Structure formats: C-alpha cells, structure tokens
Chain A
C-alpha cells in the first residue's frame, strides 16, 4: 500500500462559474478530502489558478489530476510534493485591544513570529501572519491563552520550483 503524502495540485483554467463544482465533484466521487483550496488569477491574463492541497497517495493524486485535466475548461493541471514547491498560508488573528497594553508578552509574540499588526481600533487589533502551517499553529497556541476573538487561516498558495509550461501551451493555440 502506497503511503499518503501531501500533494499540491495546481490547475490552470478558464474563468468559468461551473468549474469549481466540476472539480470538487471529482474529489467527492472518490472520497478524497480537500485539505485546502484557493482560487485566484494566475500569471496569465484571463487564466485562473486553483491551488488544491490533498493528503493521499501519489497514485490517487495522479488519477485525480487526469480527471481534472479532462474537464473541458481546464487548460492544464499539475501536482507537486512539498519539496517541489514554495508554499505558505496566511492567517489573521483578531484580539481585544486592551490586551496589547495589559499583556506585554503579546508584543513579543508578534515580533518573534515576524507578524504584522494590520489595524488597531479602540476595541480590537488584527495581526497578520504568513508562513507554513506549523508556524501559524505555533503562533495560535501562543496567543490562545490571552483570548482570540476571531481566527482565520487561508488555503495554501504555492509556486512550483520547476516550470509549469502553461504559457507555451496557450501560445501554441494562438498560432
């Protein structure tokens, strides 16, 4: 039995309303949980990029990528291991403003974690932290005893170390 690993699937596609449904259905049908999903514009005009993280075997990942690529509006899909990508996540912590003055340790946590304060109001302030999952988890654990009013973490965003030959594919089409 092949071992489960974390894979980042990158999907370049047309920007179409129904496509997310189509892609998520491929995972649903095979009972494979999406660990995180991020959709954004890509380096190419009018081309969207899905970044999907799964924890499963390479064989399943390969088959899923095959099924994703088969969708009409998908231009190209790739998968990479963590070693083959540069990746991070973003998190926001909303914390009561009085703590910033009453609990000096919080300022140290912000500094030590290389995070930023993005806004301060009389009631609350918001810390932004970018990094690997475990770095964010670590910061969460450090802040938790003081009381976190709200917490949110984004899906993974990543770029691959190797080239994804997507622009060439589109150029070929235009010729």
Chain B
C-alpha cells in the first residue's frame, strides 16, 4: 500500500486511507525515513507489533533482550548515522526499562523517539495490569513527551516527535499510545512537521556577535578552541577544520566531540577534562581567548569553576540558549547553529600560525608522553595494559573503526588512545555515564553504519550489565566486534578507592564467569588473551572476521588512569601520577 508519499492535499480529494492507529504508526515511521527500530513486544503494544509483522519487509525490527538494550541500540544507530533512533516497548515495566537509555540520550543530546504502548484509555488511572504513568516518569528526562489516547492524534504527534527529536539541540521524545488508539480506525494523512510556534529550533545567528568574536580571535595571542559534540550534531566538521587551519588555533575536544577532527591533525591537541590530556587542561588556564564550540562546560570538563579559565575571554558558540552562562560566563555568547556561525566567522578571521603558543602544547604533550602515554601504549612491565589493546585496534582497523565504549577506566583509555580518521567514530555514554551502554549501542552502530568496522570496548563490569544482548547479536547476525578489557575489578571505582578511600575496595572486586564460554554459548567466535605476544594476532583476527567476534583481554588488575583532575580540583591541578 503506497501511503508513504501521501500528501495532505491528495487526501482531501478523496484518497484518504482508513487504517488503524497501529498501522498509522508504521506509516509515520516510514514517512520519516526510518528503516530500523529496536524493541520488545508486550500486551499493550501488540497491535503495533502486528503491523510490524505485516510491514517486516519495509521496516526492520530488532528484538533486543531487554528494553534498555533497545534504547542504547537506537542511540548507537542515531549517533553513527545522524538519523533518529527509534525504540519501542510495551507499557509498565517495558516502558520503565527504557528510562536509563532515555536519560542517557537526553544528557548526550541524542535524537531518539521512543514509542510505548499504554493500557486502553478507559483503564487509565485505574492501576490496570502493566499500567504505569510513563509520561510522568519520563518528563524530566525527555525533550518532549505526549500520551496519545485516540488514533486521530497519531499523525500530527508522530510528526512533531520526529521534528523535536532531531531539530535544534537533539534529544529523546517519548510517545505513549493507549491500546484503544492503536486499534481505532481513522482517516490517515501525514504531513511532516517543520515548525512549532512555541519552539525555536535554531536561534538566528547575530552578525554583531560574530564580528565581536572575530575581533577577539584576531587579537588573541594564545587562543584555544574546545569543541564538543555540537560540531558533529551540527555537521560542522568541515567548518571546524577550515577555521582551525586558517586561524592556526590549537583545538581540543570534549569526550563527545572526539573524531570531529582527525586525531592526526597537527592542530588537534587532545581531550580536555578529568582524564583528558595534560596540555589542553593546563593551558585552559593560560589561554587568553577560549573558543567553545558546541560544548556545555560539563563539570568533568571544567573541574572547579571558580578557577576555570578566569584569565580568558570566553566565546561560547551554542545552539541552546539555556547553556549560555549556565556554568561558565561567556564574554561573547554566539547563539545559533555552529555550522552557520563558523561559516560566517571564517571570512572574518585572519590567517595565523601561533607557533610559539602551539609549541607550549607540544612541550606539555612530551611531558605527558614520557610520564604516562609511553607506559600505557608501549608498556615494559609484564601485565597487559588497556592502552596497548586500544593501540592494536588502531593498527588493525587502520584508524577507521567506530569505537563504542562503555563507562569506566577502559572508556577513558579508549577515548584517550583511540585514533580516528572519520567523524562519528567515538560512541560513548558521556554525560550520564551509563554502564552497560556499549554492547547494545554497538549493535545499533553497526546497523547504522553497516560498511564500517564497529568495535565495542567494554569493561568486565559494564559488559555484565547488558550481556544478554549477545542474544540480539546472535539472532540478528550483527557482525560487531566485542573487546572486554578484564581487570576483574570495577576499575574506576577501585581507582578512586585507592586514591581517596585508603584502598578500601568496597564491592569493586569481580568474580567473573567464563566469558569465552558465554560468547560461544551464543555461537559467537571467542578468544581470550592473557599474554602480550598473543595480543596483536588476536586483534587482527578479530578485525578480519566477517562475523561477530568476542575477544577477552586480561589486563593488569590495578592499573590507574592518568592524567587525572580530582573532583573539585582546578584544571591546573591535573595529576600525572
């Protein structure tokens, strides 16, 4: 049935099609260009699943093993593809299981639409079986949410949901649909949403602010750029590169900004933040102009705000007005889409090299290399390090892999040492720090970018939080590569216990199962590496595999991640050991 291209005008002339609310949901998804949805069926969403069955050739539904996995998979899909991820669940527990992923998408600005089934309208508020107030529960962690109680609302609300999820600063939207609305028949017509009167997706760029910013940049002696995920979400990678190169400004990135500029770019000076690089953290407090591009001054980036970049004029390029002056005062706030802003800025900035200033970054990099990086990537001790595993992945994948990391020590190591040639290659849970994110997110990432190599890098703790998604990998035959860096500890918490709690290792030691046997139980090829001499071959074998592959690497149990800015300390107080 060709409803996909149905126009409102046509429907008024008599081509309106009378369909059920459930079928309408499918047509809305198809009209929005959705090809894959992740979810888990249940009573209150059965009419929609019945339609998914009928439309299975047009819309691929991936059955995850838990609803949380569906959200993370949708996030992984969205983050690599730039499209909206879709997750579905039934009412009650199905819906509440989505919450972690929704909160993750909210804080990391990931476009996602979640569709939940709900008990029939006449049962609302009666404590019916699997009834829960998911709209109330999800309100603080959604960009928008809505409960549909009659079928005729579906087209308009679904159109709004997709528009809100992907426009402006993206985020998650939850649409709860009562069962009666799924069954009801109505005259379907679909029109994409392009504007909402109470919502400004993109503030207009003010030319005067661009001019002010350009003036400060041109007069700066020690300018520094910190870019964030806004560059990737705003598709402004080329503009960032052009700006960095023309103005000759050292550029650092937040964890979610990684890969927007190739790792090997000479002006890429590394990651800022708690476990970021030494030079950009220290020099944040020495630069004279700090140019923040699509980032939000998270506390893990700034450390103590009262000592953060106080000497610098701060230029804040930002799409979300609520972020301006939220954490760091902006001397020049440049509201608007960062791509448009950079396009306007570029002709106004002077060509420059800032060589002496850049040499300060190089000198500090050398210090970090000698004291930290060398030992992480080329260790001389017996035990394997997480860093050398990441380096082997870099080599085996020619720096072209999408690295999906979980949360903890391995995440920091992965983000520090993974090398990226291509944008949208670093998928991780940044703001929420959701353990269990990586495995399902990697499934979505591989489906969103099937031509790319996708490697999930997970700790032994986080892996076991969503380990059941191995079932999804097996059933859906998703060729993701899984690397578990096993130190038999919840490593990051253990590190803090060592540094700040006198080595009282409260509940951080893990007695782990036979991971290889578990993977093999799901018919996934699996290998365990305990010695350095076996690492390179194993990583190459994993990357070369056309199918899913599980690699467990037993790493040093009590290694720590450095550099480190202790919580509440200044970026100037970054520690190398």
Q: Flag A23-39 by CB within 8 Å of B: 1 or 0 each.
A: 00100010000000000
The 8 Å CB contact of B135, one of A18, A63, A73, is A18
Say if the beta carbon of B320 comes within 8 Å of chain A. yes
Q: Flag B120-143 by CB within 8 Å of A: 1 or 0 each.
A: 000000000000000110011001
The 8 Å CB contact of A25, one of B139, B147, B195, B199, is B139
- Give Cα A12 to B197, complex, Å: 12
- Give Cα A14 to B324, complex, Å: 25
CB distance from A80 to the nearest CB of B (A): 19
* B321 proximity list for chain A (CB < 8 A): 66, 69-70
Say if the beta carbon of A13 comes within 8 Å of chain B. yes
Interface residues of A in 54-109 (CB under 8 A from B): 62-63, 66-67, 69-70, 72-75
Interface residues on A, range: 10 to 19
Whether B164 and A72, one on each chain, are in contact in the complex, defined by CB atoms closer than 8 angstroms, is: yes
Which secondary structure dominates where chain B touches chain A?
A: mixed
Whether B197 and A75, one on each chain, are in contact in the complex, defined by CB atoms closer than 8 angstroms, is: yes
Whether A74 and B198, one on each chain, are in contact in the complex, defined by CB atoms closer than 8 angstroms, is: yes
A70 and B322 in contact, given A173-B195, A173-B197 (Cβ under 8 angstroms):
yes
Say if the beta carbon of A132 comes within 8 Å of chain B. no
- Give Cα A102 to B139, complex, Å: 55
Most A C-beta atoms less than 10 A away, residue of B139, B143, B198: B198
Of all chain B residues, which has the CB nearest A62? B325
Whether B144 and A170, one on each chain, are in contact in the complex, defined by CB atoms closer than 8 angstroms, is: no
* A66 proximity list for chain B (CB < 8 A): 321-322, 324, 326
CB distance from A108 to the nearest CB of B (A): 50
* A70 proximity list for chain B (CB < 8 A): 320-322
Whether B136 and A21, one on each chain, are in contact in the complex, defined by CB atoms closer than 8 angstroms, is: yes
The 8 Å CB contact of B144, one of A13, A29, A72, is A72
Of all chain A residues, which has the CB nearest B160? A72
- Give Cα A75 to B197, complex, Å: 7
Interface size on B, residues (CB 8 A): 21
Interface residues of B in 35-76 (CB under 8 A from A): none
* B147 proximity list for chain A (CB < 8 A): 18
* B144 proximity list for chain A (CB < 8 A): 72
- Give Cα A22 to B147, complex, Å: 14
* A18 proximity list for chain B (CB < 8 A): 135-136, 139, 145-147
Whether B326 and A63, one on each chain, are in contact in the complex, defined by CB atoms closer than 8 angstroms, is: yes
* A14 proximity list for chain B (CB < 8 A): 198
* B356 proximity list for chain A (CB < 8 A): none
Q: Flag A131-175 by CB within 8 Å of B: 1 or 0 each.
A: 000000000000000000000000000000000000000100100
- Give Cα A73 to B200, complex, Å: 10
- Give Cα A170 to B136, complex, Å: 29
CB distance from A43 to the nearest CB of B (A): 16
Q: Flag B349-377 by CB within 8 Å of A: 1 or 0 each.
A: 00000000000000000000000000000
Of all chain B residues, which has the CB nearest A75? B198
The 8 Å CB contact of A29, one of B136, B140, B143, B195, is B140
Interface residues of B in 6-47 (CB under 8 A from A): none
CB distance from B243 to the nearest CB of A (A): 27
- Give Cα A119 to B135, complex, Å: 42
- Give Cα A69 to B143, complex, Å: 12
- Give Cα A62 to B326, complex, Å: 9
- Give Cα A21 to B321, complex, Å: 22
- Give Cα A69 to B321, complex, Å: 9
* B197 proximity list for chain A (CB < 8 A): 75, 170, 173
CB distance from A143 to the nearest CB of B (A): 40
CB distance from A93 to the nearest CB of B (A): 35
Whether B198 and A73, one on each chain, are in contact in the complex, defined by CB atoms closer than 8 angstroms, is: yes
CB distance from B132 to the nearest CB of A (A): 15
- Give Cα A72 to B139, complex, Å: 12
CB distance from B139 to the nearest CB of A (A): 5
Of all chain B residues, which has the CB nearest A70? B322
* A63 proximity list for chain B (CB < 8 A): 322, 325-326
Whether A72 and B196, one on each chain, are in contact in the complex, defined by CB atoms closer than 8 angstroms, is: yes
Interface residues of B in 166-225 (CB under 8 A from A): 195-199
Of all chain B residues, which has the CB nearest A47? B198
- Give Cα A50 to B327, complex, Å: 27
* A75 proximity list for chain B (CB < 8 A): 197-198
CB distance from A55 to the nearest CB of B (A): 21
CB distance from A67 to the nearest CB of B (A): 5
Q: Flag B289-327 by CB within 8 Å of A: 1 or 0 each.
A: 000000000000000000000000000000011101110
Of all chain B residues, which has the CB nearest A173? B197
Whether B139 and A22, one on each chain, are in contact in the complex, defined by CB atoms closer than 8 angstroms, is: yes
- Give Cα A105 to B143, complex, Å: 57
* A73 proximity list for chain B (CB < 8 A): 198-199
Whether A72 and B140, one on each chain, are in contact in the complex, defined by CB atoms closer than 8 angstroms, is: no
Whether A25 and B143, one on each chain, are in contact in the complex, defined by CB atoms closer than 8 angstroms, is: no
Most A C-beta atoms less than 10 A away, residue of B135, B164, B197, B325: B197
Of all chain A residues, which has the CB nearest B143? A72
* A29 proximity list for chain B (CB < 8 A): 140
Of all chain A residues, which has the CB nearest B142? A22
Of all chain A residues, which has the CB nearest B197? A173
- Give Cα A72 to B196, complex, Å: 8
- Give Cα A69 to B320, complex, Å: 10
Of all chain A residues, which has the CB nearest B199? A72
Of all chain B residues, which has the CB nearest A174? B197
Most B C-beta atoms less than 10 A away, residue of A67, A69, A70, A170: A70
- Give Cα A132 to B199, complex, Å: 35
* B196 proximity list for chain A (CB < 8 A): 72
Interface residues of A in 5-22 (CB under 8 A from B): 13-14, 18, 21-22
* B136 proximity list for chain A (CB < 8 A): 18, 21
Most A C-beta atoms less than 10 A away, residue of B140, B143, B164, B324: B140
CB distance from B344 to the nearest CB of A (A): 22
Whether B320 and A72, one on each chain, are in contact in the complex, defined by CB atoms closer than 8 angstroms, is: no
Of all chain B residues, which has the CB nearest A63? B326
* B325 proximity list for chain A (CB < 8 A): 62-63
* B145 proximity list for chain A (CB < 8 A): 18
Known: A63-B325, A173-B195. 10 other contacts (CB 8 A): A13-B198, A18-B136, A18-B147, A21-B136, A22-B140, A25-B140, A29-B140, A63-B326, A70-B321, A72-B199
Chain A interface (Cβ within 8 Å of chain B)? 13-14, 18, 21-22, 25, 29, 62-63, 66-67, 69-70, 72-75, 170, 173
- The 4 A-B residue pairs with the shortest CB-CB distance, nearest first, are A66-B322, A173-B197, A75-B198, A72-B144
